Chain A
Amino acid sequence: MRAVELIGAAVYDSDGVPVGAVRDLFFEAVGGQVPDSGRPAYRLRALECGAVGLAHRLGYGHRSITGPWPLTVLMQRLVQNSLIVGWEQIAALGTGRVDLAVRRDQLRWAQQEEL
């Protein structure tokens, strides 16, 4: 599987309601190694889904960007509207499509998530 197959894929919840598109992949150093993974092995922990990609790309999601003022407010508002999908919440992976096993309102908001 390649990251390009996940990033940009449309995400739908268990009722078929659109959740947004995959914007970022979160990894965590846990669990055993597999060939080539090196030590520690990084596992895909969660996907970040949002409507607008630009704010994420610019780095207003997790990085410590201090300005310029009107942009910080605008971009942080855009980023706040994104949701975190844990790997265990995914029901099926298709081409350009991710179907969830849970409803949209069961997902966590990105701003509650610490990286």
Chain B
Amino acid sequence: MKRVFALALGVMTAIGGFVDVGNLVTSGITGARFGMSLTWAIVVGTIAMTLYGEMAGRVAAVARRPVFHIIRERLGVRTALVNLLAFVLLSLLTLAAELGGVALVLELVTGINYLVWVPLIAAAVWLIVWRMSFSVMENLFGVLGLCLVVFVVALFVLPTDWGSLWHGVTHPWVPPREGHPMYLFYAVSLLGACLVPYQVVFFSSGGREEHWTPKNLTEMRFNCVVGFPLGGLLSIAIMAAAAVVLQPLQINVKHLGQVALPVARALGPVGLSIALVGFAAALLAAAAECALSIGYSVGQFFGWSWGKDRRPREAPRFHLVCLVAVIAATAFILTSIDPIAVTVVSVVLGAAAVPLTYFPVLVVANDRDYMGGRVNRRWSNALATVFLVLMVVTSIAAIPLIFFTKAGQ
């Protein structure tokens, strides 16, 4: 019974951890603008995330190496440093988006301008990093993040035409007023929202924080293979809710509140409140994970002691990096730049940076000196190679697409 409970908890945290501000925003925007015709991008992104998440988790458990140890060992100092800088800048942008996202949710709850909330939320995120134990953080927010399941419930209450939704999934088409570049831009944004680099760094470093050994492999795989796809399903549900309610009204999603309107229509005040709790929990957890991932990556690159299972005195530089990251992201979002625009740009840039983090993981997952007999199987290598090629293509296309579509406007 205890084991079943642990497994269930793990899956729930994987679901809650998968969904962040990138998924909420991109699913809402694309559902309203493109209906279900971009579902394939979430499916592809989720499969790739599951595959590479499992690899990173396996490397963390068997070789006891978190991602940035591997990156430095296998890419050498200079390439790894470039990689680290790209990762840190990108994660700062993501952190800023998550902080801004929580603040926007609180504005929806209280009616008080989000900029007032930003410093308070930043303080809360830092306190989570500073004091809260790793497992409490993961489990509490993971379970609260599950409130987002109201989107699935809403779909069953709404007059959903399942046949036409399914038709949209299986017959992807480009709406005539959008054009192909716009379609591709949002496809990349959905891929980027599923394949966020910080999530792999967090997942593998979290594995080290919880002292995984090869004994934990089954549990870890179960979390990946069940949790991540369910998280992807949640993203699809958010997209579908927008497609059912917002698309017929030709609403162009620019605010988080619009993403929640379908739930209000289906389930009224209670459902809406649950959805907003889900938003806040998922984004707050993502913000803390993002701040931690910045500390993890820098600490692992330099070989410092890092992690939440050490007292701050024992890992001073790790905590300093986390603190500075939170302050920098807060300052950035306080310039009153639109957090939704920051989110969209951050997921697309994230898609551009994905191969940097994922490629070394793939190589090491094939290295018998690290992994012994637990190297990748042939089929998972075949699949991983296909996705790697796709990620490289996406990565090359991402930045031109940002400029060409003016970041999707």
Instruction: Name A residues whose Cβ lies closer than 8 Å to a Cβ of B.
Output: 53, 57-59, 63-71
Q: Which of B76, B362, B368, B369 contacts A68 (CB 8 A)?
A: B362
Q: Is the CB of A69 within 8 A of B381?
A: yes
Q: Is the CB of A69 within 8 A of B385?
A: yes
A67 and B76 form a contact (CB under 8 A) = no
- Are A67 and B375 also in contact (CB < 8 A) when A58-B363, A59-B367 are? yes
* Residue-wise interface mask of B (376-394) relative to A, using a CB-CB cutoff of 8 A (1 in contact, 0 not): 1010011011001000000
A58 to B73, CA, bound (A): 8
Q: Does B330 make an interface contact (CB < 8 A)?
A: no
Q: Note all chain A residues with C-beta closer than 8 A to B366.
A: 65-68
Q: Are B74 and A59 neighbours in the complex by a CB distance under 8 Å?
A: yes
User: What are the residues of chain B within 8 A of A70 when measuring CB–CB?
Assistant: 385
Alpha-carbon distance between A66 and B376 when the two chains are bound, in angstroms: 8
**Interface: B79 (CB within 8 A):** yes
Name the 8 nearest CB pairs between A and B, nearest first: A68-B381, A64-B368, A67-B381, A67-B366, A68-B385, A57-B76, A63-B369, A65-B367
CB distance from B296 to the nearest CB of A (A): 22
- What's the Cα separation between A71 and B389 when bound, in Å? 11
Q: Chain B interface: which size bin?
A: 10 to 19
The answer for the CA separation of A69 and B363 in the assembled complex, in Å, is 11
Question: A69 to B375, alpha carbons, bound, how many Å?
Answer: 13
Chain A residue nearest to B79 (CB atoms) is A57
Q: What is the bound-complex CA distance between A65 and B366, given in angstroms?
A: 5
Query: Residue of A at shortest CB range from B76?
Result: A57
Q: Does B367 contact A63, Cβ atoms closer than 8 Å?
A: yes
Tell whether, in the assembled complex, residue A59 and residue B76 are in contact, meaning their CB atoms are under 8 Å apart. no
Instruction: State in angstroms the CA–CA spacing of A71 and B368 once bound together.
Output: 16
The reply to whether A57 and B74 contact each other, CB–CB distance below 8 Å, is yes
Contact of A53 among B76, B360, B367, B384 (CB under 8 A): B76
**Interface membership of B331, Cβ < 8 A:** no
Determine whether B109 belongs to the interface, using a CB cutoff of 8 Å to chain A: no
Complex contact A57–B368 (CB within 8 A):
no
Cβ-closest chain A residue relative to B80? A57
How many Å lie between the Cα of A12 and that of B369 in the bound state? 33
Q: Is the contact region of chain B dominated by helix, strand, or loop, or is it mixed?
A: helix
Interface assignment of B124: CB less than 8 Å from any CB of chain A:
no
> Do the beta carbons of A67 and B376 come within 8 Å of each other?
yes
Chain B residues lying within 8 Å of A57, measured Cβ to Cβ, are 74-76, 79
Expressed in whole angstroms, the Cα–Cα distance for A114 and B367 within the complex equals 19
* Contact bitstring B44-88, A, C-beta under 8 A = 1, else 0: 000000000000000000000000000000111001000000000
Q: Which residues of A contact B384 (CB under 8 A)?
A: 68
A70 to B381, CA, bound (A): 10
Closest to B383 in A: A68
16 A-B residue pairings within 8 Å (CB atoms): A57-B75, A57-B76, A58-B360, A58-B363, A59-B367, A64-B367, A65-B366, A66-B366, A67-B366, A67-B378, A67-B381, A68-B362, A68-B388, A69-B381, A69-B382, A69-B385
Residues on B with beta carbons closer than 8 Å to the beta carbon of A69 = 381-382, 385
Q: How far is the CA of A79 from the CA of B7 in the complex (A)?
A: 44
Cross-chain contact A65 with B363 (CB below 8 angstroms)? yes
Q: Bound complex: CA of A66 vs CA of B366, how far in Å?
A: 5
Cα distance, A68 to B385, chains bound together (Å): 7
**A53, A63, A67 — most chain B CB neighbours (10 Å):** A67
Residues of A within 8 A of B367 (CB): 59, 63-66
Return chain A residues, CB-CB under 8 Å to B375: 66-67
A57-B76, A59-B74, A63-B368 known; 19 other A-B pairs, CB under 8 Å?
A57-B74, A57-B79, A58-B75, A59-B369, A63-B369, A64-B369, A65-B368, A66-B368, A67-B366, A67-B375, A67-B376, A67-B378, A68-B362, A68-B381, A68-B382, A68-B384, A68-B388, A69-B381, A71-B363
When C-beta atoms are compared, the residue in chain B nearest to A75 turns out to be: B363
Residue in chain A with minimal CB distance to B389? A70
Closest-CB distance, A78 to chain B (whole angstroms): 14
Q: Please, which residues of chain B bring their CB within 8 A of the CB of A71?
A: 363, 385
Contacts of B76 in A (CB 8 A): 53, 57
Q: Find chain A residues with CB under 8 A from B360 CB.
A: 58
B contact residues around A53 at 8 Å (CB) = 76
Distance in Å: Cβ of A2 to nearest Cβ of chain B: 13
Q: Across the two chains, which residue of chain A brings its CB closest to B384?
A: A68
Q: From B367, which residue of chain A is reached at the shortest CB distance?
A: A65
- Within 8 Å CB of A68, what residues of B? 362, 366, 376, 381-382, 384-385, 388
Shortest CB distance B81–A (Å): 13
Enumerate chain A residues within 8 angstroms of B79, measured Cβ to Cβ.
Answer: 57
